[in-house]
């Protein structure tokens, strides 16, 4: 499938990205700036989350940055007013972190999102809103690949909250006509991801271990499958969803190009890096209880209705990611 062309359609468009200094938000912001959009970022850079000012280095003059929290009604109202498109990517991402401090996760991912939607309803009722949902809402798959009709059964606090937030987006569409769309993403990886620790994503920790000459720690027997999704493919999907009419109120899975067992993934990363070792370790008790086993997304719906599919092969995505952190790692470790 050819990459859908969105090149001309964003010039001059007024776009807000909440969580725009984070991993996905900053990659999206850079692309939108290159396409000529007028991009505003709303981000409060709370400690311990993936936001990093270095993510927008070189683009400081082309992006308008508002240092504000989604839960601050005045800051959010100022940011959403007059926007045509809002990519709503602010959030607390860590699953383990959500178990350690569930009320903080609730406050950011539920109260913050509901407050945001209330403000959108008042200040920017015609904006199209793309919400960054997660495949974690499905819990342990009953079948693979997992389509959007698979029952939801979140197994950690963060996933319960992400489910509540996506439901609010759909509810506000149904009741108030907000133009919201939910994209449930699988594990996303790529340049600018958080690699300080494994909080946002196990792969962040693996990259850190690999580039620091430490053993990659693989939980269990490493047979769990993941369909990792390269961040530039996510950006394509977000842009396409923003432009596609008639999909408001709907939910789509976003999955990766290849499915890979984690042990195989560790070996491929070592091969690409040209050095390294891995070690199988027992799941830490807290992790095992919130692990979902193997996961592969069924992306038939978005492929059919939007013409999107991931185009970055895993090997290529890993090469780009490792190369990025070799060069820029000092800003992330
Ligand atoms: N990365 C993934 O693998 C993945 C997978 C599925 C879903 N998602 C979802 O996508 C979204 C973006 O994820 P990411 O990987 O870019 O995470 P990230 O941690 O890199 O970015 C999140 C950003 O939100 C900002 N933020 C957090 N709370 C805020 C608040 N109250 N007000 C303003 N800004 C705030 C942070 O500073 C950060 O810049 C999240 O909602 C996440 O749940 C991510």
pLDDT tens for 90-128 read 999 999 999 999 999 999 999 999 999 999 999 999 999
Q: How many CB atoms lie within 10 A of CB 200?
A: 24
Atom of ligand 1 nearest to the CA of 46: 37
Q: Any residues with Cβ below 6 Å from ligand 1, and which?
A: 19, 21-25, 42-46, 49-51, 69-71, 89-93, 108, 112, 132, 134, 162, 185, 187-188, 194, 200-201
The pLDDT, as a whole number, for residue 2 is 45
Flag whether pLDDT at 202 surpasses 70. Answer: yes
CATH of the domain at 283: 3.40.50.720
Q: Provide the number of structural domains found in the chain.
A: 1
Asked whether residue 5 is domain-assigned, the answer is: no
Q: Which atom of ligand 1 approaches the CA of 135 most closely?
A: 6
- Report CA dihedral (45, 46, 51, 54) to the nearest 10 degrees: 50
Domain with 314 in it: 14-331
Is residue 142 in some structural domain?
yes
The tokens describing 68, both together, are: 């504000």
For residue 146, list its beta bridge partners.
297
Q: For position 4, what pLDDT does the model report? A: 52
Identify whether 9 is part of a domain. Answer: no
For residue 261, the Cα-to-chain-centroid distance in whole angstroms is 21
Query: If DSSP codes are grouped into helix, strand and coil, which group holds residue 189?
Result: strand
Asked if the structure places residue 285 within a domain, the reply is yes
From CA 50, how far away is CA 22, in angstroms rounded? Answer: 5
Which segment of 131-145, 199-213, 296-310 scores lowest on mean pLDDT?
A: 199-213
Question: What is the band of 5 on the pLDDT scale with cuts at 50, 70, 90?
Answer: low
**Does residue 284 sit within a domain?**
yes
Does residue 7 sit within a domain? no
Residue nearest to atom 23 of ligand 1 (CA): 19
Residue nearest to atom 37 of ligand 1 (CA): 45
Nearest in space to 164 (alpha carbons), one of 220, 102, 121? 102
The answer as to whether 8 is a domain residue is no
Q: Are the C-beta atoms of 239 and 24 separated by less than 8 Å?
A: no
Which residue has the least CA distance to atom 1 on ligand 1?
188
Do residues 207 and 228 make contact, with C-beta atoms less than 8 angstroms apart? no
Confidence of residue 205 (pLDDT cuts 50, 70, 90): very high
pTM above threshold 0.85: yes
Cα 251 to ligand 1 centre (Å): 18
Q: Which atom of ligand 1 is nearest to the CA of 20?
A: 39
Report how far apart, in Å, the C-alpha atoms of 300 and of each of 11, 149, 232, 235, 309 are.
30, 12, 19, 18, 9
Average pLDDT score over residue span 166-183? 98
Domain annotation covers residue 173: yes
Return the pLDDT at 3: 52
Nearest alpha-carbon partner for 180 in 128, 132, 135: 128
Question: CA-CA distance, 234 to 243, in Å (whole number)?
Answer: 14
Q: How many whole angstroms from 333 Cα to the centroid of ligand 1?
A: 18
What one-character DSSP code corresponds to residue 297? B
């Amino acid at each position: 499938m050819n990459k859908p062309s969105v090149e001309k359609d964003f010039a001059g468009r007024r776009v807000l990205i909440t969580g725009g200094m984070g991993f996905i938000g900053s990659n999206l912001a850079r692309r939108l700036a290159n396409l000529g959009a007028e991009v505003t970022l709303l981000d409060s850079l709370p400690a311990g989350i993936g936001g990093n000012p270095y993510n927008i280095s070189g683009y400081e003059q082309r992006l308008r940055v508002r240092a504000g929290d989604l839960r601050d009604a005045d800051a959010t109202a100022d940011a959403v007013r007059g926007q045509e498109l809002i990519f709503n990517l602010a959030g607390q991402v860590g699953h383990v972190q959500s178990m350690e401090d569930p009320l903080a996760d609730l406050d950011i991912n539920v109260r913050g999102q509901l407050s945001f939607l209330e403000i959108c309803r008042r200040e920017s009722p015609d904006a199209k809103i793309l919400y960054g949902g997660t495949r974690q809402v499905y819990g342990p798959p009953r079948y693979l690949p997992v389509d959007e009709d698979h029952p939801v059964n979140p197994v950690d606090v963060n996933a319960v909250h992400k489910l509540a937030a996506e439901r609010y987006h759909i509810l506000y569409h149904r009741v108030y006509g907000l133009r919201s769309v939910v994209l449930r993403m699988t594990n996303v990886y790529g340049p600018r991801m958080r690699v300080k620790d494994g909080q946002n994503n196990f792969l962040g920790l693996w990259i850190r271990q690999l580039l620091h000459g430490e053993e990659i720690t693989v939980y269990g027997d490493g047979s769990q499958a993941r369909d990792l999704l390269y961040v530039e493919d996510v950006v394509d999907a977000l842009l396409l969803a923003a432009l596609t009419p008639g999909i408001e109120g709907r939910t789509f899975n976003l999955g990766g190009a290849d499915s890979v067992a984690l042990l195989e993934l560790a070996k491929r990363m070592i091969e690409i890096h040209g050095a390294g070792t891995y070690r199988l370790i027992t799941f830490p008790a807290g992790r095992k209880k919130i692990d979902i086993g193997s996961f592969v997304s069924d992306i038939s719906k978005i492929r059919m209705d939007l013409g999107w599919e991931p185009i970055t092969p895993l090997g290529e995505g890993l090469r780009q990611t490792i190369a990025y952190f070799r060069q820029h790692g000092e800003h992330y470790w």
